[in-house]
């Protein structure tokens, strides 16, 4: 029995009870790993992982990554950080601590146990870009003192820490820059455009569009994104990233609203409001590197993914 003690891959997922983290836990459990899900439940929810409670390969741990964690694992996926403006602007200092102190603590853990570590970075490192679409060589255009800076700049700092640990300590790192993602288990009150539009349409409330609705985003379905995460972790040691993960098909906010209104069969109107400070006008990934190295590109069309997401939100209103 002792010889087989480490036969399963032991994986830590920080932020594992969140939207993305819970789907990642599902995928890793399905692949036969032992998963430790660590979350402080600021934006994550036990409901997202309760279906795993009786699985012997799953362990739920209440933990804040701004404090050190001492566990024995083979891999770490660092997803811990509020990702929507409403949540990360609620306590901006804590947001910065989560990204920066969290990265330091998880990198320290990875160094101690010799684990490969994945950083969930973000397209927000590009800020309000002057280059379109954005590829990984673009350094970004970020306001360092704006209301979004606690998230944007702390994620940029986390990338710096990952690459310095890689250079200084030969740590095996993988860095993914995540573009807009949607799907079941999104929080209904996270202020993100997909969840906002769907909930407003389901309740018959006017859909809130900031600006004139011409600003664009690209939307990746959660299953496609998680598949990319796993592929990144399976690349050889020479590949660190950063690598863009997202759907390069671009939609205006007005097009998204119209699609959701049609799929919900809602009578909601559209209400236009001023554009928030530092809100990017365009956001679209260049996924050439992901195609080349990971042999990955998104498969789920927007309307198909929206149907699944709408069904999920409908079930939460019952």
Among 187, 287, 197, 299, CA closest to 244: 287
Strand spans (E) along the chain? 10-14, 34-39, 58-62, 75-78, 116-122, 173-178, 181-182, 207-210, 216-218, 220-221, 243-245, 250-252, 270-273
The one catalytic residue among 151, 165, 182, 221? 151
The CA-CA-CA angle for residues 253, 308, 198, to 5°, reads 40
CA 271 to CA 164: how far, in whole Å? 46
The CA-CA-CA angle for residues 147, 139, 256, to 5°, reads 60
Among 15, 190, 201, 266, CA closest to 119: 15
Q: Look up residue 231 and give its two tokens.
A: 């592929």
User: What backbone phi and psi angles, to 5 degrees, belong to 97?
Assistant: -60, -40
151 is catalytic: yes
Instruction: Identify whether the C-beta of residue 171 lies closer than 8 Å to the C-beta of residue 107.
Output: yes
CA 56 to CA 60: how far, in whole Å? 11
DSSP-derived pairing of the beta strands 181-182 and 173-178 = unpaired
CA 124 to CA 43: how far, in whole Å? 19
- Return the sign of the alpha-carbon dihedral for residues 234, 58, 109, 113: negative
Q: Look up residue 300 and give its two tokens.
A: 């789920």
Catalytic residue ranges: 151
């Amino acid at each position: 029995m002792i010889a087989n003690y480490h036969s399963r891959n032991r994986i830590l997922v920080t932020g594992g009870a969140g939207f993305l983290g819970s789907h990642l836990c599902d995928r890793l459990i399905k692949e036969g790993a032992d998963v430790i899900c660590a979350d402080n439940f600021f934006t994550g929810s036990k409901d997202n992982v309760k279906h795993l409670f009786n699985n012997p390969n799953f362990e739920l741990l209440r933990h804040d990554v701004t404090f050190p964690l001492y566990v024995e694992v083979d891999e770490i996926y660092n997803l811990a950080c509020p990702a929507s403006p409403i949540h990360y602007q609620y306590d901006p200092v804590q947001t910065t601590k989560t990204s920066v102190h969290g990265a330091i603590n998880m990198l320290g853990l990875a160094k101690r146990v010799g684990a490969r570590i994945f950083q969930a970075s973000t397209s927000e490192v590009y800020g309000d870009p002057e280059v379109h679409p954005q590829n990984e060589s673009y350094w970004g255009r970020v306001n360092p003192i704006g209301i979004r800076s606690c998230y944007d700049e702390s994620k940029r700092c986390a990338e710096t820490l990952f690459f310095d640990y890689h250079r200084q300590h030969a740590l095996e790192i993988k860095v993914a820059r995540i573009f807009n993602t949607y799907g079941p288990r999104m929080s209904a009150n996270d202020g993100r455009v997909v969840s906002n539009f769907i909930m407003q349409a389901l309740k018959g409330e006017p859909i809130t569009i900031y600006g004139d609705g011409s600003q664009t985003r690209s939307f990746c379905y959660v299953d496609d994104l998680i598949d990319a995460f796993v592929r990144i972790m399976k690349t050889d040691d020479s590949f660190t990233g950063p690598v863009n993960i997202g759907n390069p098909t671009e939609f205006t906010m007005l097009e998204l609203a119209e699609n959701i209104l049609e799929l919900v069969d809602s009578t909601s109107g559209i209400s236009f409001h001023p554009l928030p400070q530092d809100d990017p006008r365009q956001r679209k990934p260049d996924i050439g590197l992901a195609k080349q190295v990971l042999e990955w590109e998104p498969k789920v069309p927007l309307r198909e993914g929206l149907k699944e997401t709408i069904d999920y939100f409908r079930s939460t209103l019952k």
